[in-house]
Structure 1
Amino acid sequence: STPFLFVTETVASHPDCPDEGQFGVNVIAQSALSRYDHRLPYRKIADRFEQLHGLELSGASAWHATERAARAGRCEYEQIRQEIQDADVVHIDETGIKRDGEQAWIWTFQTVQHTLYAVRESRGSDVPAEVLGEDFAGTVVCDGWTAYPAFSSNLQRCWAHILREAEDAAEKQPEGEPIYQALRQVYVALQARLESDPSPRERADLQRVARKELESLIDRSVPDGP
């Protein structure tokens, strides 16, 4: 007679491995990087694991791995968002991105110490309100997109955008040339002073002088027309 053969599968455990699932942190990390850095579909992520490592992985398993990476980082993500919500100054920008073939937007919220990304279907003021909170009291540094004044009245326009728009206007209309040159002079003067790392009081004085120069520029600019 033929004896029965009993097969037992033993899976080793390790403190670095996640508590659930059969894949370790390297597979989870590589799945997330392949999806969000290299923009690979989940099916191709699975094919890549089999081709490079001989690891049989389904597209669904690759998806689950990225979900586990997201859950693992959620706590730290919320901590970073709290730090940004409490900041005095936050730089915000948004750019288009395709998500599963549909138009979406990747928003960037940045302070001196933290950077937070948020992918949303909306490009409206509801996104900064969601991320920063509707009661955000800090200064928003941004471009001229309409979502920002709809969210906050405490805005600082980005100098790069202002100068680029002024230069474009000067190329189209001769009346814009002195305005562009005056803005450049204000910017260059401020940058020169800021290199010496002035004190908060000196910075406040710089702001007052620059504001007067801008108000004077507005008063003597062309009141009508292009």
Structure 2
Amino acid sequence: MGNILSRAKEQVDAAVADITAELRRAGVIGCDETGVRVAGQKYWQWVFGCATAVLHKVAPSRGKAVVREVLDGHVPEVWVSDRFAAQSGHGANRQVCLAHLLRDAQYAIDAGDTVFAPPLKDLLLRAVDIARRREDLQKSTLYQYRYRLDRDLYELVTRTPDTRADDKLRRQIQRVRSDMLIFVTNRAV
């Protein structure tokens, strides 16, 4: 069994090196992390993905050092991630993960928010619908859509909250507003 694992390790290490090299050339990289137990200890499973490769890395840290190690100085044009602090600053631009935003909007709706989260969810779904049609739309049309979405988002974050969950989410969105709609005009995202 030990010999089989030893031979497999060489092949796995070679594949990991190829995948990592592919990531280090990518213009758009998405990343997320989640907790995992390793030998009874808390670790983090990181997932890095681009159009042509996906790398899973288990590390004892949830910090920026893990991303820096994987990227080894590479700065993608767009970094797609959640709003966790360790996920910021790795790309020339950042696209905040819509799945996380939609989940958080739904949490606020479930907590009773009627002012901010429902229209935020609608705006995000509108943006996703536009993105699904990007290949068939002119660049100028995409920029018009992006302008309208940005305008609507600005109007939304200036509303007065009606619940604690609403206010918390609104403040979070205010901080990342400029990172939310990159994908509308950037077809690579």
TM-score > 0.5 by shorter chain: yes
1:210 to 127, 149, 157: 149
1:181 has 2:125 as partner: no
Name the CA distance, whole Å, in 1 between partners of 2:73 and 2:163.
37
Secondary structure of 1:90's partner?
strand
Instruction: Look at both structures and tell me which one has the larger radius of gyration over its CA atoms.
Output: 1
**Residue ranges of structure 2 left out of the alignment (5+ in a row):** 168-189
Deviation of the 1:161 alpha carbon: 1.4
Task: Verify the 8 A CA contact 2:77 2:93 in the aligned structure 1.
Answer: yes
Give the secondary-structure state (helix, strand or coil) at the position aligned to 1:119. Answer: strand
Q: How does 1:103-142 map to 2 (within 5 A)?
A: 103-142=42-81
Higher relative contact order (CA 8 A, sep 6+): 2
Counterpart of 1:75? 14
**Residue identity opposite 2:75 in structure 1:** F
CA deviation digits over 1:66-88, x for unaligned, max 9? 23312223233222212112212
Q: 1:204–1:93: structure 2 CA closer, same or farther, 3 Å change rule?
A: same
TM-score normalised to structure 2 length: 0.72
Question: Which letter maps to 1:191?
Answer: V
Q: Does 1:160 align with 2:99?
A: yes
Moved over 6 A (4+): none
Task: Give the Cα separation in 2 of the matches to 1:171 and 1:153.
Answer: 35
Alignment map for 1:1-226 (pairs within 5 Å)? 62-149=1-88, 151=90, 154-173=93-112, 176-196=113-133, 197-199=135-137, 201=139, 202-222=141-161, 226=167
RMSD: 2.7
Alignment length (residue pairs): 163
TM-score for both structures, normalised by structure 1: 0.61
